[in-house]
């Protein structure tokens, strides 16, 4: 379909485009906070008070700051995973499942083998990344081979992962902690736990360092390597990629593998850095929230880190907010939902602020392959 | 005195790094065809987009029938009786013509059910009134380009346009289709419509225009009429220097066999046979032109040769390699450059900065990649050199290709493909949408490559181009090469007959 017109050209320069995206994200956040505040007020609370409580919960004490950082970490991993997919033209909804699979693989590697400390943790992390990668490779391969849309197939792989894991930690499930009344798994060996930088609860584990490395790694990969060039080209224009000699199918699978590895690594860090085991409810929804994180960050690793921090702050702060100000924590979920709505549909806020039309150059791949080609 | 139907005064538009329109004054009279000429990037499309409400001018006013109007979006423009047919069509391919027309007509609201039959009747009436032949029930993607364009025009008329803006309407048409379009244009103006017609083809300007305006560097540099001017003078006005409208070249000295195609068979997207046993050869140092009416298998032929489309029968030999089933990268690496027919589909990643589009096929090779790292400096240097050599008008090499003018986008592709060291150059419509000055440059370049021993396969719908550049001309009809003739002796008439599928022997009977 050739519907490209002179009109859809991006009118903005690179910098203009950049600041415009940041602007949209910030507007979305502000608007969501305002609407959230209105809802608090309508339900009889004091919005200023509520947000202050949220702030204090996230930054009030050293412990709170650690908690915020630790809560931000998985959002970054998962957000990066989604962002890499988007850059490659793939809507990887399967991050949730890949994260679970990564958790479980790291868990098994953490208790089933014995290795020296440090090496064991590294090995378990690697298995987590590998698990996520393999789990993501399946929909990638299906898309490359048969054209099956990744949104559908990753939703299915999510279900499969979730159900199998729930079964495996159910009564008499193979991973169930023997003798426990709760649906929880065995513990990983101490040698596989991530070392901590502080002795707080939660601990400031070195997963935090790993995630920072991951942010820079993804940046380097996407914009400084030929593979990244291929991923972005396939994401923006698969026909041109083929014309340029890029193996589109291979690139699709690789994109999913990298995306899944990041998600799996995130899951592994959670298990090895925090609880040391896996239980139902652990990290549920993280993979979906990270779609908002990635969009908020314009699918750029630095943006993702910033977006993840926002989500981490809200997650860390909402307990204190509810405790201190009686503003229910659900308000945070509402705000997060609103943010997703606004960043995903900038047209909603454009008329409000008379922003210029979205240019061709910036419709980054969210729907690039929605039509099924690829 | 009759007011001009459309008058613009002092229109100015700046983009980051470019003054696209610089205080332009222009008027369009009732019932006339105003042809607009200008180099690539002169600001023609920008001006039209302003009039049609897609861009907002920084300065200047627009008057309709003497009354000042403010046009903030296309809806405003339509209300003012302005309609635009874009260079790239805006129809939804999977819908029928009638459905497409109903799409934009939100004011049909109020009816609970859409009245399709009524629309169809109205289309048929319009189509009769202006000689615009189109089947309202046909699905758009099944229509040939010329018919799609007629559907676009009907859509514009259906919305009540009195002023029609046609942005390079003939760029995608065959000569026959262009002639049909001219008939339509005449019948439109006879019935009082006024038309702004953008084109790079001087021949057309002389034929269809009542008045001619020329833009250069965002300024209006001249107004004239076909009677007062000549093609050479117009070219001069556009580019600001003498332009050779004819390419000078020595006879070819063909060398070794580069491309040998035997009995090639290829299917089109809908799995119908498109190439039916094509056999052709291109030797080093010669240009083989493939002439034919668009849609006779040229696209499928080129895609098959470059590895983009599956070959179902026959054989392709490229410099001694069997590339019948080769992947695109293999074909490229053996030494092929390819200017694709569809620049937005294959040729460019529009969102990429120009510098990245200029290394689209070579990003992974030194000097652009060294030890797994892209080399931004090498990529930028390459771009700066090519932008200079090929006269690509862009504010910077980091500007996204999407914000270049149509012709400059094409030049990015040509620059990329022509600058590579290759043995075979496959060029499909290489000068589509390009201004006369740059066409001259590209034509010279093709001949220079030929003289340097490159084998050139030129596919073009422009007979002039084919005849000017080719050493031999193969005419393709319904997926077969019905004849190959030496270029010196070929005549337009002879080629025209062949393209229509009439073989000389039969014609003589
Ligand atoms: N959306 C945009 N953003 C930035 N620059 C633009 C944009 N649209 C046009 N330009 C610039 O404005 C100038 C005029 O472009 P325009 O498309 O009007 O040229 P044109 O005369 O139609 O050329 P062509 O014959 O190649 O179609 C060019 O330098 C182009 O790069
Ligand atoms: Mg133009």
CATH code, B323: 3.40.50.300
Residues around the ion ligand 2 (C-beta < 5 A): B 45, 405-406
Cα distance between residue A135 and residue A137, in whole Å: 6
Decide if B398 and A14 are in contact by the 8 Å CB cutoff.
Answer: yes
Question: B344 CB near a chain A CB, below 8 Å?
Answer: yes
Q: Looking at the domain assignment, is residue B290 inside a domain?
A: yes
| Chain A with chain B: Cβ pairs closer than 8 A | 128
Reference B391, options B208, B239, B236; nearest CA is B239
Whether residue A39 is contained in a domain is answered as yes
Q: Are both B191 and B271 inside the same structural domain?
A: no
**Chain B contact probe: residue of A14, A222, A240 with most B CBs at under 10 A:** A240
What is the total count of domains within chain B?
A: 2
pLDDT tens digits, one per residue of A27-43: 889 999 999 999 988 88
Q: Which of B212, B239, B266 is the last residue of a domain?
A: B239
Ligand nearest to the CA of B20: 1
Classify strands B273-283 and B287-291 as parallel, antiparallel or unpaired.
unpaired
Query: What single string gives the DSSP state of each residue in A155-204?
Result: HHHHHHHHHHHHHHTSTT-TTBPTT-SSSBBPPPPGGGSPPBSS-SSS--
Count of alpha carbons within 13 Å of B150, Cβ hemisphere only?
A: 26
B268 and B147 belong to one structural domain:
no
**Domain membership flag for residue B248:** no
Q: How does residue B116 score in pLDDT terms, banded at 50, 70 and 90? A: confident
Hey, what's the torsion of the CAs at B15, B18, B24, B27, to 10 degrees? -70
Determine, yes or no, domain membership for B249.
no
- Containing structural domain, residue B182: 6-239
Q: Tell me if A7 and B55 make a contact (CB, 8 A cut-off).
A: yes
| B349–A240 C-beta distance less than 8 A | yes
Contacts of A43 (CB under 8 A, 6+ apart): A328
Can you tell me the distance from the alpha carbon of B6 to that of B65, in angstroms, rounded to the nearest whole number? 6
CB contact under 8 A, A239 and B353: no
**Taking the mean position of all CA atoms in its chain, how far away is CA B328?**
24
Span B241-269, average pLDDT: 88
Within a domain: A59: yes
Q: Best-predicted range by mean pLDDT among A327-331, B66-70, B144-148, B236-240?
A: B66-70
Residues B348 and B455 in one domain: yes
Query: How close, in Å, is residue B345 to chain A by CA atoms?
Result: 6
- Domain presence at residue B466: yes
Which positions in chain A touch B308 (Cβ < 8 Å)?
242-243
**Which of A4, A5, A6, A13 has the most ligand 1 atoms within 8 A of CB, as the residue to mutate?**
A6
Query: Do B229 and B271 reside in the same domain of the chain?
Result: no
Residue A156 lies in domain: 17-353
Residue A363 lies in a domain: no
Residues B136 and B267 occupy one common structural domain: no
B residues 88-127 lying closer than 8 A (beta carbon) to A: 88-90, 92-93
Residue of B nearest to A235 (CA): B349
Q: Domain check: are B35 and B83 in the same one?
A: yes
Q: Which of B239, B273, B308 is the last residue of a domain?
A: B239
Give residue B57's pLDDT.
93
The answer on pLDDT for A76 being more than 90 is yes
Confidence of residue A364 (pLDDT cuts 50, 70, 90): very low
CB spacing of B352 vs A236 below 8 angstroms: yes
CA atoms within 13 A on the CB side of A54: 25
Domain count, chain A: 1
Residue A14: which pLDDT band, with cuts at 50, 70 and 90? very low
Mean pLDDT of chain B: 90
The interface pTM score, or ipTM, of the predicted complex is 0.88
Nearest CA to ligand 1 atom 17: B405
Judge: A4–B344 Cβ closer than 8 Å, yes or no. yes
Q: Searching chain A, which residue's CA lies closest to the CA of residue B337?
A: A244
Residue A367 located in a structural domain: no
Whose CA is closest to B68, among B9, B111, B124? B9
Residue nearest to atom 24 of ligand 1 (CA): B40
Same domain, B53 and B201: yes
Q: Is residue A108 part of a domain?
A: yes
User: Which residue, of B182, B213, B239, is where some domain finishes?
Assistant: B239
Instruction: Count the neighbouring beta carbons within 10 Å of the beta carbon of residue A340.
Output: 19
Radius of gyration, CA atoms only, chain B: 24
Q: Hey, is B7 helix, strand or coil?
A: strand
Which residue puts its alpha carbon closest to atom 1 of ligand 1? A11
Interface test with A, best of B349, B361, B407 (most A CBs within 10 A): B349
> Rounded to whole angstroms, how far apart are CA atoms A240 and A113?
47
pLDDT digits (tens, 9 = 90+) for A113-163: 999 998 999 999 999 999 999 999 999 999 999 999 999 999 999 999 999
Residue A364 lies in a domain: no
Please give the C-alpha separations between residue A27 and each of A30, A175, A353, in angstroms, as whole numbers. 5, 45, 9
B266 and B395 co-located in one domain:
yes
The shortest C-alpha distance from B493 to chain A (Å) reads 33
If phi > 0 it is left, if psi is from -120 to 50 it is alpha, else beta; for residue B393 that is beta
Closest residue on chain A to B360 (Cα): A244
CATH of the domain at A173: 1.10.3470
B38 and B133 inside one domain: yes
Task: For residue B409, give the ligand 1 atom closest to its CA.
Answer: 26
DSSP 8-state secondary structure symbol assigned to residue A361? G
CB contact under 8 A, B351 and A236: yes
Residue B377 in any domain: the answer is: yes
Question: Phi and psi (nearest 5°) for B260?
Answer: -130, 120
Q: Quick one: pLDDT band at residue B113, thresholds 50, 70, 90? A: low
Handedness of CA A96, A97, A100, A101 (dihedral sign): negative
Calculate mean pLDDT across residues B179-192.
91
At A202, is the pLDDT very low, low, confident or very high (cuts 50, 70, 90)? confident
Give the residue, B374 or A20, on which the prediction is more confident.
B374
Token duo for residue A349: 């806020």
Bridge pairing between strands B33-38 and B211-216: parallel
B364 close contact with A: CB closer than 8 A: yes
Q: How far is it, in rounded angstroms, from Cα B4 to Cα B28?
A: 6
Asked, for residue A37, whether it belongs to a domain, the answer is yes
Q: Which pTM was predicted?
A: 0.89
């Amino acid at each position: 379909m050739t519907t490209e017109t002179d009109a859809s050209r991006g009118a903005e320069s690179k910098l203009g485009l950049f600041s415009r995206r940041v602007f949209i994200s910030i507007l979305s956040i502000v608007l969501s906070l305002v609407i959230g505040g209105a809802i608090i007020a309508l339900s009889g609370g004091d919005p200023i008070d509520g947000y202050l409580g949220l702030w204090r919960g996230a930054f009030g004490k050293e412990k709170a700051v650690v908690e915020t950082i630790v809560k931000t970490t998985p959002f970054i991993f998962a957000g990066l995973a989604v962002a890499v997919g988007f850059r490659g033209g793939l809507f990887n909804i399967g991050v949730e499942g890949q994260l679970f699979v990564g958790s479980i693989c790291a868990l098994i590697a953490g208790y089933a083998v014995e290795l020296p400390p440090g090496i064991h943790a590294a090995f378990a992390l690697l298995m987590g990344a590998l698990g996520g990668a393999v789990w993501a490779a399946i929909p990638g391969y299906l898309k490359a081979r048969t054209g099956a849309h990744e949104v559908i197939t990753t939703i299915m792989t999510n279900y499969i992962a979730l159900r199998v894991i729930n079964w495996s930690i159910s009564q008499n499930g193979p991973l169930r902690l023997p003798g426990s009344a709760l649906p929880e798994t065995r513990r990983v060996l101490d040698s596989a736990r991530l070392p901590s930088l502080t002795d707080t609860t939660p601990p400031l584990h070195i997963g935090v360092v790993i995630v920072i490395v991951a942010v820079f790694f993804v940046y380097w990969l996407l914009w400084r390597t030929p593979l990244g060039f291929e991923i972005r080209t396939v994401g923006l224009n698969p026909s041109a990629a083929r014309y340029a000699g890029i193996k589109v199918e291979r690139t699709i699978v690789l994109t999913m593998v990298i995306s899944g590895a990041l998600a799996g690594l995130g899951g592994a860090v959670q298990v090895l850095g925090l609880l040391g085991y896996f239980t139902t409810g652990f990290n549920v929804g993280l993979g979906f929230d990270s779609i908002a994180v990635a969009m908020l960050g314009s699918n750029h690793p630095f943006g993702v880190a910033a977006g993840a921090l926002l989500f981490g702050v809200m997650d860390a702060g909402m307990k204190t907010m509810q405790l201190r100000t009686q503003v229910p924590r659900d308000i945070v979920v509402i705000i997060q939902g609103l943010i997703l709505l606004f960043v995903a549909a900038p047209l909603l806020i454009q008329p409000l602020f008379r922003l210029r039309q979205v240019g061709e150059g910036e419709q980054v791949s969210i729907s690039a392959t929605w039509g099924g080609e690829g | 005195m009759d007011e001009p139907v459309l008058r613009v005064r002092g229109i100015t538009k700046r983009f980051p790094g470019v003054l696209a329109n610089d205080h332009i004054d222009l008027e369009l009279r009732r019932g006339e065809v105003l042809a607009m000429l200008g180099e690539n990037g002169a600001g023609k499309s920008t001006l039209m987009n302003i009039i049609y409400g897609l861009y907002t001018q920084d300065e200047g006013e627009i008057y309709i029938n003497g009354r000042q109007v403010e046009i903030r979006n296309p809806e405003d423009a339509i209300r003012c009786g302005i309609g635009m047919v874009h260079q790239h069509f805006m129809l939804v391919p999977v819908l029928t013509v009638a459905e497409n027309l109903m799409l934009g007509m939100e004011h049909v609201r109020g009816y609970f059910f859409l009245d399709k039959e009524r629309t169809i009747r109205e289309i048929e009436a319009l189509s009769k009134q202006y000689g615009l032949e189109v089947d309202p029930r046909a699905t758009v993607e099944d229509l040939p380009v010329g018919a799609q364009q007629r559907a676009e025009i009907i859509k514009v008329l259906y919305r009540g346009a009195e002023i029609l803006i046609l942005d390079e309407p003939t760029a995608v048409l065959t000569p026959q289709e262009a002639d049909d379009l001219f008939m339509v244009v005449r019948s439109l103006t006879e019935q009082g419509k006024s038309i702004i017609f953008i084109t790079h083809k001087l021949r057309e300007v002389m034929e269809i225009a009542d008045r001619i305006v020329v833009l250069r560097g965002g300024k209006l540099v001249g107004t004239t009429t076909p009677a007062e001017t000549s093609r050479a003078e117009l070219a001069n006005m556009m580019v600001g220097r003498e332009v050779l409208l004819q390419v000078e070249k020595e006879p070819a000295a063909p060398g070794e066999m580069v491309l040998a195609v035997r009995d090639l068979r290829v299917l089109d997207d809908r799995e119908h046979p498109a190439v039916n046993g094509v056999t052709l050869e291109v030797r080093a140092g010669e240009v083989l032109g493939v002439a034919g009416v668009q849609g006779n298998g040229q696209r499928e032929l080129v895609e098959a040769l470059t590895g983009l489309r599956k070959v179902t029968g026959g054989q392709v030999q490229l410099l001694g390699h069997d590339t019948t089933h080769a992947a695109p990268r293999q074909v490229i690496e053996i030494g092929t450059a390819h200017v694709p027919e569809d620049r937005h589909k294959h040729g460019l990643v529009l969102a990429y900065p120009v510098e990245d589009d200029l290394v689209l096929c070579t990003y992974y090779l030194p000097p652009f990649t060294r030890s797994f790292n892209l080399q931004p400096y090498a990529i930028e240097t390459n771009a700066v050199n090519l932008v200079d050599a090929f006269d690509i008008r862009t504010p910077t090499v980091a500007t996204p290709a999407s914000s270049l003018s149509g012709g400059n986008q094409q030049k990015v592709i040509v620059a990329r493909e022509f600058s590579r060291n290759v043995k075979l150059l496959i060029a499909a419509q290489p000068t589509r949408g390009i201004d006369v000055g740059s066409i001259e440059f590209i034509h010279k370049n093709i001949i220079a490559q030929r003289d340097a021993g490159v084998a050139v396969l030129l596919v073009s719908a422009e007979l002039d181009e084919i005849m000017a550049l080719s050493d031999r001309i193969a005419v393709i009809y319904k997926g077969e090469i019905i004849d190959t003739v030496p270029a010196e002796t070929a005549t337009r008439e002879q080629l025209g007959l062949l393209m229509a599928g009439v073989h000389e022997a039969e014609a003589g009977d």
